[in-house]
Amino acid sequence: MSLIERLFGKKPSVPPTSRMHSQISSGGLSQQNAMTMQGTTRRELLRVVLRDTLNRHGIPSAWIAAEVLTTTSRNGERGVHWRLMIKHWDPRLLACEIALQQALIKRVTTFDPLASNWLTGISWQFALEDESQCPPLPHPGSWTSAPHELVKVAPAPEKVGGVIEGPVRIAPQAAPGKEVDAARADLDQLLAIRDADFKQHGGTKQTWASTEPAKLDAR
């Protein structure tokens, strides 16, 4: 079964390769026409592969378009370069570009095992209609700095039954109008303790003579 039959499930409108070569050798089909038909077949193959791969992975088909460019190697062999264009901005596409590219290549080689001979390369291009949603460049040092590690915070212990852990002493609060009376009572108590201690040890009060300024004799 040829490539076109596997793609569309019908007989190909393009003659097989062996028949094409026989027509070229007999003069019924020129080499230029054969290369044109071959290029058309490859373009259609890449178009179908892109559409099916996007649908299989749930990516909207309008997000990615493609261009097929004809290339020529140093040996003069003609090939195809596949340019994929991102039409819609989504950070997930950037993170999955490699995986998507590998899926496309695998799909192409499934239909044509010799695709590596004529598919010379794949490139990506941004073709966004609106670039306002794209983020700006970060700080230059952020490219080489170590990523910030998230610090794990241990959860607070749960209190079962509303029980307060540890002894808790609650000091009584005095009423606003009794603060002065409480201070006075404390002062009287301290004075009473001092007098009792003074009497117990038989101490006497020491009196001090009043001092007066000295008088100088005038001579």
The C-alpha atoms of residue 71 and residue 77 are separated, in whole angstroms, by 8
Task: Give 108: exposed, middle or buried? Use CB within 10 Å, 0-12, 13-18, 19+.
Answer: buried
Q: How confident is the model at residue 53 (pLDDT cuts 50, 70, 90)?
A: very high
Q: Is residue 173 part of a domain?
A: no
CATH of residue 89's domain is 3.30.300
Average pLDDT over residues 42-70: 96
Q: Is residue 96 part of a domain?
A: yes
The C-alpha atoms of residue 2 and residue 97 are separated, in whole angstroms, by 30
Report the domain count for the chain. Answer: 1
Asked whether residue 5 carries a pLDDT value surpassing 70, the answer given is no
Average pLDDT over residues 144-150: 74
The whole-chain average pLDDT of the chain stands at 76
Domain that holds residue 58: 3-133
| pTM of the shown model | 0.54
Q: How confident is the model at residue 15 (pLDDT cuts 50, 70, 90)?
A: very low
Q: Is residue 97 part of a domain?
A: yes
Q: Are 4 and 41 in contact (CB under 8 A)?
A: yes
Asked whether residue 32 carries a pLDDT value surpassing 50, the answer given is yes
